[in-house]
Structure 1
Amino acid sequence: MERSLETQVSQAVDAWLRWLPRWEPATHRGRVAPCRRCFGSPVLSAAGLGADVPHGVQHGLSTRIKTIVDHAVADYTARNLPMLQAELDQQAARNRARSYRPAEDLDPEFEGLPLDPDPVPGAPFLFTIAGLAEEVDADIPALPPLSDEAKAALRQEVALADDYANMVGREVCSILLHSRLRIQAAVAELVEPQIEAMLEELTRSLDSPFGDQPPLA
């Protein structure tokens, strides 16, 4: 029997809570561009994860919840939208023909993130993972063109899929409200102490930028 949305959301939160003890603050440079999946996400608002929560913590939950919505939309599309399903099947076959697929089978904490770090000015990369993937894509034949009538019908089905995704997304957010207290409790227990310790260490380094040194004679 297919699991209900309530069960799926609860299990996604449970999986995120099991992962959260392994989270540690990032020590590398932050990205300039905000994450398109997490920035302004209603899922994170429903979960009570505000802008003061580190992005890595947010991303692990938002990705797990997005997967629930994606699976619901995929099932709806397969049952009701034949043209869109045919296009997706062709695209899936095209994807399988790629010999290099670095963005697939990633853990939820990394799914949807850029494949490469932000470049350092004056220090260009010799190669990038995204660039290698694009080189492989160039060798895959493009999908056959559609007629104007087919394009119009496909746009209509895409709009129906978007409407369904929005409906499921609203329902998921409503369900997620029931897990808000345990999400926030886990952040308070496992995330906030690490952030406070990092800030204390930063404060100490700013107060003594050269470390403890003996006074000059």
Structure 2
Amino acid sequence: MERSLETQVGQAVDAWLAWLPRWQPATHRGRVAPCRRCFGSPVLAAAGLGADVPHAVQHGLSTRMKTIIDRAVSTYTERNLPMLQAELDHQAARNRARRYRPTDDLDPEFDGLPLDPDPEPGAPFLFTIAGLADEADQEVPALPPLSAEAKQALRQEVGLADDYANMIGREICTLLYAHRLRMRTAVVQYVEPQIEAMLAELSLTLDAPFDPGEGNTPLT
């Protein structure tokens, strides 16, 4: 028996809340490019996780909601969109044939993020995970070509799938309102103290850039 959308959202929020106490601020450099999954996300807005919440915290929730949408669209496609389903089956078989699949089975907190960190200026990588994945992808035969009529029919089915995904997304946004209070409470309990501690440590560093014990004189 399929779980209702309300049950799926509630269980995904529960899983996110169970993970949140383990979150810690990242110590590596931040990225310049915003996350396409989270930036301006209506799901995060509905959840009450605004710009004051670290991206890693946001990403863990938005990815779980995307999984629900993807699962619903997959079921809809299998039942109603045969051409699109055939293309997806071909692509799935192609993906299984790749010898290197670094994005498989990632935890929600990492799914959809870039595979490699930004390179340091003047210090290029000898190789990258994304580059290795691209090389493996090139070894797999391309999908068979489609006729013009098949392409048009496929575009129509893709449009229907997109419309269905948008509908499910709107329903999820509505359902998330019921969880806003407990999500915000968890952020206040587990996230904000760590951010405040980081800011406090930074303020001490800025207030005392030199160690008077070493004979240095603070700037005036």
Q: Deviations over 1:115-166 (max 9, x none)?
A: 0001111000000000001111111000000000000000000000000000
Aligned to 2:41: 41
- Taking structure 1 as the reference length, what is the TM-score of the superposition? 0.98
Question: Secondary structure in 2 aligned to 1:155?
Answer: helix
Aligned to 2:60: 60
Shift of 1:211: 3.3
Aligned to 1:24: 24
Residues 152 and 183 (structure 1), Cα distance of their counterparts in 2 relative to 1, 3 Å cut: same
How far, CA to CA, are the matches of 2:57 and 2:123 in structure 1?
30
How far, CA to CA, are the matches of 2:48 and 2:214 in structure 1?
48
How far, CA to CA, are the matches of 1:76 and 1:210 in structure 2?
63
Amino acid at match of 1:166: N
How far, CA to CA, are the matches of 2:211 and 2:46 in structure 1?
44
Conserved? CA contact 1:47–1:179, under 8 Å = yes
Please say if 1:159 is aligned against 2:163. no
Aligned to 1:122: 122
- Taking structure 2 as the reference length, what is the TM-score of the superposition? 0.97
Aligned to 1:8: 8
Conserved? CA contact 1:115–1:129, under 8 Å = yes
Aligned to 2:76: 76
Q: Deviations over 1:48-92 (max 9, x none)?
A: 000110000000000001100000000000000000000000000
How far, CA to CA, are the matches of 1:100 and 1:121 in structure 2?
28
Pairs within 5 Å for 1:80-159: 80-159=80-159
How far, CA to CA, are the matches of 2:19 and 2:101 in structure 1?
25
Question: Secondary structure in 2 aligned to 1:36?
Answer: coil
Amino acid at match of 2:89: D
How far, CA to CA, are the matches of 1:103 and 1:84 in structure 2?
23
How far, CA to CA, are the matches of 2:212 and 2:189 in structure 1?
32
Residues 81 and 117 (structure 1), Cα distance of their counterparts in 2 relative to 1, 3 Å cut: same
Identical counterparts, % of pairs: 77
How far, CA to CA, are the matches of 2:48 and 2:212 in structure 1?
41
The size of the alignment, in residue pairs, is 217
Conserved? CA contact 1:205–1:211, under 8 Å = no
How far, CA to CA, are the matches of 1:208 and 1:16 in structure 2?
39
Shift of 1:207: 1.1
How far, CA to CA, are the matches of 1:42 and 1:4 in structure 2?
21
Aligned alpha-carbon RMSD (Å): 1.2
How far, CA to CA, are the matches of 2:127 and 2:173 in structure 1?
40
Shift of 1:208: 1.3
Shift of 1:209: 1.7
Question: Secondary structure in 2 aligned to 1:213?
Answer: helix
Please say if 1:193 is aligned against 2:193. yes
How far, CA to CA, are the matches of 1:192 and 1:83 in structure 2?
48
Shift of 1:210: 2.6
Q: Which runs of 5+ in 2 are unaligned?
A: none
Conserved? CA contact 1:77–1:84, under 8 Å = yes
